[in-house]
């Protein structure tokens, strides 16, 4: 049973289907990116998973149990939501102490997570004086308080400065390396591409792609290879004779339907010099646009 299971989940608001028969699993020990354009249904899905909205049908569970069925949920699941907010008149330490008491976590965890997110020195200041990045760090500290097996992060990079983003990336990788499950929703695709092992792409509330990042980037067009040739005209003819589609840009050829090994063998058979040879993958942005139909 997967740590996170979405089964035929739908959420309707009147006639509008925010989430429409969505199904996927999230595996442990991996960081999974949850991607989709604005209004795709990402936040609704995460909120259904966390018991904050009632699904119209289907289920979103942690190993088969709804969030509100978990014993000590904050020890199983840590969540950072996009609009994480705190009472402005209370300090970070006070907020975490309240959460520690509620979740039956030992008091020393408060100091540990404050230190982990770099807020120890500001822990007794009232939150209303915090920057957005500091609030985000406090939200992450709250999520880590129960040392959970599953981390749900909805746009966690909001407000973080570059060192903070690098720190968060390291945290997610470490959590996954420890065998935990990390699900991150983000619109910063370049950042996601550097952080995740798997991706789930949704649009209009429906699943568009799910799998390892390399597989999703590869698309459904088969392998593709970028090759730089000393005689691009002759190599183009040779490749086309063997049924490959070639897009030529100067001395660089993009060959569809062929692996680098196949292109290299064809060049060798024709006794043509190859100056560079690499598999061609789509960027995450290209894959995202192709899968969701959304243009920038």
Partner 1 sequence: MTALLRAELLKLRTTRTFAAVVASAAALSLTLVVLGAALGKETKAHALFTNSAITYIIVILGAIAMTGEWRHRTITGSVLAAPNRARLLAAKAISYSLAGIALAIIVTVPTIIVGELVLSGRGLATLGAGGIADVLWRNLAVAALLGPLGVCVGALVRNQIVTVVGLVIIAAAIEPAVFQAVPEVGRLLPLAGAPGGVLGGTHGDLSPAPALAVMVAWTLTIFAAAAWRLRSRDLV
Binding-site ranges for partner 1 (CB under 8 A): 43-44, 47, 50-54, 67-68, 70, 73-74, 79, 81, 83-90, 94, 97-99, 101-104, 142
Smallest separation, CB 51 to partner 1 (Å): 5
Smallest separation, CB 265 to partner 1 (Å): 56
Smallest separation, CB 55 to partner 1 (Å): 10
Q: Which is nearer to partner 1, 79 or 227 (CB)?
A: 79
Q: Which is nearer to partner 1, 47 or 169 (CB)?
A: 47
Q: Which is nearer to partner 1, 56 or 259 (CB)?
A: 56
Smallest separation, CB 238 to partner 1 (Å): 58
Q: Which is nearer to partner 1, 98 or 116 (CB)?
A: 98
Smallest separation, CB 103 to partner 1 (Å): 6
Q: Which two tokens stand for residue 240?
A: 């086309």
Q: Which is nearer to partner 1, 54 or 296 (CB)?
A: 54
Distance in Å from the first CA to the final CA of the chain: 38
């Amino acid at each position: 049973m997967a740590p996170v299971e979405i089964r035929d989940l739908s959420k309707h608001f009147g006639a509008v289907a925010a989430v429409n028969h969505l199904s996927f699993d999230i595996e442990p020990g991996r960081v999974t990116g949850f991607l989709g354009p604005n209004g795709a249904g990402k936040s609704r899905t995460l909120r259904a998973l966390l018991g904050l909205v009632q699904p119209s049908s289907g289920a979103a569970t942690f190993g088969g149990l709804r969030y509100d069925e978990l014993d000590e949920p904050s020890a199983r699941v840590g969540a950072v939501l996009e609009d994480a907010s705190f009472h402005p008149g209370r300090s970070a330490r006070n907020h975490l102490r309240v959460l520690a008491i509620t979740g039956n976590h030992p008091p020393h965890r408060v100091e540990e997570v404050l230190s982990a997110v770099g807020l120890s020195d500001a822990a007794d200041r009232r939150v209303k004086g915090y920057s957005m990045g500091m609030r985000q760090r406090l939200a992450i500290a709250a999520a880590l308080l129960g040392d959970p097996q599953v981390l749900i992060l909805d746009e966690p990079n909001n407000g973080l400065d570059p060192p903070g983003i690098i720190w968060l990336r390291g945290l997610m990788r470490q959590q996954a390396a420890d065998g935990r499950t990390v699900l991150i929703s983000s619109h910063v695709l370049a950042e996601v591409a550097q952080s995740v092992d798997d991706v789930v792409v949704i649009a209009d509330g429906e699943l568009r792609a799910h799998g390892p990042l390399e597989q999703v980037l590869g698309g459904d067009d088969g392998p593709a290879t970028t090759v730089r040739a000393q005689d691009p005209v002759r190599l183009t003819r040779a490749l086309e004779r063997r049924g490959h589609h070639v897009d030529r840009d100067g001395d660089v050829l993009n060959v569809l339907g062929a692996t680098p090994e196949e292109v290299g063998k064809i060049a060798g058979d024709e006794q043509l010099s190859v100056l560079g040879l690499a598999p061609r993958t789509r960027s995450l942005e290209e894959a995202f646009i192709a899968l969701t139909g959304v243009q920038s």
